[in-house]
Amino acid sequence: MDVRMDGRVAVITGSSTGLGLAMAKEFAASGASVALLARKMDALTAAKAEVAKAAGKTNAKIEVYSCDVAKAQPIADTWKKVVADFGKVDIVVNNAGISHAKAFDTVTDEDWQGDLDLKLFAAIRLKGDLHGIIVLERDISRQGDGPANRNSLFAATGQKDATSNDDREH
């Protein structure tokens, strides 16, 4: 199935390697413009070349932004740059993440807080100007004008009262 994303703008965190890079390539190949976010500019520069190659002859615009999404201010600053560069955001993929491969009873409060900042609060903060609310993953349909914000746990729908409908059948 060929899904075209022409005219759409996707922001992907953790997009310099792995799944984030793979998703960025697919979005670009389908015509979407892509904002790649990660911490290391050298890795982002290499990723940009790969994504541009995947985009081929589409009109996809590819930009990179060094951003630590575990911190509120860099997210806010980067969001403003992305919107200024692209004019809008249609899709946010919260892919940034790390894994603490250790026994549960050895995970520290700092480890937990770091995971929450990176995986949960980044998704909340990346809502930009969605004017929406974060809801459980099972309701990922696009409702409202804002971008779809997909994360391993949450998705923003732009629906202000989304949590009041959480018990409805799916």
Q: What is the Cα–Cα distance from 126 to 106, expressed in whole angstroms?
A: 30
For residue 124, tell me if it sits in a domain: yes
Q: What is the Cα–Cα distance from 114 to 121, expressed in whole angstroms?
A: 10
Pairing of strands 154-156, 134-136: antiparallel
For residue 96, tell me if it sits in a domain: yes
pLDDT > 50? residue 33: yes
What pLDDT, in 10s, does the model give residues 117-127? 887 778 777 76
For residue 126, tell me if it sits in a domain: yes
For residue 3, tell me if it sits in a domain: no
What pTM, to 2 d.p., does this model score? Answer: 0.73
pLDDT > 50? residue 111: yes
For residue 55, tell me if it sits in a domain: yes
For residue 18, tell me if it sits in a domain: yes
φ, ψ at 65 (rounded to 5°): -140, 120
Q: What is the Cα–Cα distance from 169 to 102, expressed in whole angstroms?
A: 38
What pLDDT, in 10s, does the model give residues 130-141? 433 333 333 334
Q: Domain containing 107: what range?
A: 9-165
pLDDT > 50? residue 152: no
For residue 1, tell me if it sits in a domain: no
Indicate the residue type of 39: R
For residue 4, tell me if it sits in a domain: no
Q: Are 36 and 44 in contact (CB under 8 A)?
A: yes
What pLDDT, in 10s, does the model give residues 52-64? 999 999 999 999 9
Tokens at 122, concatenated: 């980044």
- Report the number of distinct structural domains present in the chain: 1
pLDDT > 80? residue 35: yes
Task: Say which CATH number the domain at 116 has.
Answer: 3.40.50.720
Tokens at 96, concatenated: 């940034």
